[in-house]
């Protein structure tokens, strides 16, 4: 796995489209370090830990989750730090933790439209042995916003309105002017790819305060670039 440095204290891994592995971020503080999202599997976590170790960085003490989708959360059982997620994220993860991960049960969820075809296909690629799937809730949950002092770096967690999912959380590093937005810009794949333009407008207003954005499945972009992307979504 390739790890890239964005600022003095911010690093990120590259996404993998084939296995639907999103970008994972790392914020290095003097006392603590924080990982953004836990990846989609134990293997994803292991590759990330190897990449940060090659940079001379310690394993993250904290892991903040952007939203409940499997590719951002199924690695939670494999991380060693304290996990943090919004209450809405935890509620969904608690529901999924009760699911049975067998071929027949996954097919039933597809037929009932509880799951989507793309996620089902990618999960099967990442997990040849479905029995290895372990869905867990976070150690800490929050409502609204949360601030974490990593030592010389402060990280802010903001629950935001997003067309992608009701539980989307953005992670902001004020001194670096960097915002991790996960998949917040995307359509709602679990609602026939519906795009709520009112929620998108609300997200645009929120992002206008920041300089640099890192999305879950794309290269980091400037604020102007992300606003242009969202503007084109509004016009379609």
Structure tokens at 34: 């924080």
Strands (E), 101-201: 140-142, 145-149, 154-159, 169-173, 178-182
Q: CA torsion angle for 161, 167, 168, 172 (degrees, to 10)?
A: 90
Q: What are phi and psi of 163, to 5 degrees?
A: -75, -15
Contact 172, 210 (CB under 8 A): yes
Contact 73, 84 (CB under 8 A): no
Architecture of domain 3-235: 4-Layer Sandwich (3.60)
Tally Cβ neighbours within 10 Å of residue 41. Answer: 23
For 114-117, the CB contacts below 8 A with 24+ separation are: 116/189, 116/190
Distances in whole angstroms, Cα of residue 101 to Cα of each of 36, 42, 72, 117: 26, 16, 17, 15
Residue pointed to by tokens 């709602």: 188
Please tell me the distance from the alpha carbon of residue 1 to that of residue 12, in angstroms, as a whole number: 10
Structure tokens at 90: 């935890």
Q: Which among 157, 137, 138 is positioned nearest to 149, based on CA atoms?
A: 157
Span 127-146, pLDDT tens digits: 999 999 999 999 999 998 99
Domain range list for the chain = 3-235
Please tell me the distance from the alpha carbon of residue 221 to that of residue 16, in angstroms, as a whole number: 18
Q: Give pLDDT tens digits along the chain (236 positions).
A: 889 999 999 999 988 877 789 999 999 999 999 999 999 999 999 999 999 999 999 999 999 999 999 999 999 999 999 999 999 999 999 999 999 999 999 999 999 999 999 999 999 999 999 999 999 999 999 998 999 999 999 999 999 888 889 999 999 998 888 888 888 877 878 888 878 888 888 878 777 766 666 766 667 767 677 777 777 777 76
């Amino acid at each position: 796995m390739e790890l890239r440095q964005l600022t003095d204290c911010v690093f990120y891994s590259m996404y993998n489209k084939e296995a639907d592995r999103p970008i994972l971020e790392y914020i290095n503080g003097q006392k603590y370090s924080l990982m953004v999202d836990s990846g989609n599997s134990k293997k994803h976590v292991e590759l990330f830990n190897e990449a940060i170790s090659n940079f001379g960085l310690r394993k993250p003490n904290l892991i903040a989750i952007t939203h409940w989708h499997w590719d951002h959360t199924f690695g939670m059982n494999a991380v060693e730090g304290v996990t943090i997620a919004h209450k809405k994220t935890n509620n969904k993860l608690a529901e999924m933790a009760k699911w049975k991960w067998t071929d027949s049960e996954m097919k039933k969820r597809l037929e009932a439209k509880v799951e989507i075809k793309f996620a089902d296909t990618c999960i099967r690629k990442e997990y040849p042995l479905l029995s290895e799937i372990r869905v867990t809730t976070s150690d800490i949950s929050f409502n609204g916003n949360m601030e974490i002092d990593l030592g010389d770096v402060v990280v802010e967690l903001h629950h935001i309105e997003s067309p992608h999912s009701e539980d989307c959380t953005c992670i902001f590093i004020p001194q670096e002017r960097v915002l991790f937005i996960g998949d917040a810009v995307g359509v709602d794949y679990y609602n026939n790819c519906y795009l709520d333009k009112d929620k998108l407008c609300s997200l645009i207003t929120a992002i206008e305060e920041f300089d640099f954005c890192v999305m879950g499945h794309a290269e980091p972009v400037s604020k102007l670039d992300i606003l242009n992307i969202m503007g084109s979504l509004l016009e379609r």
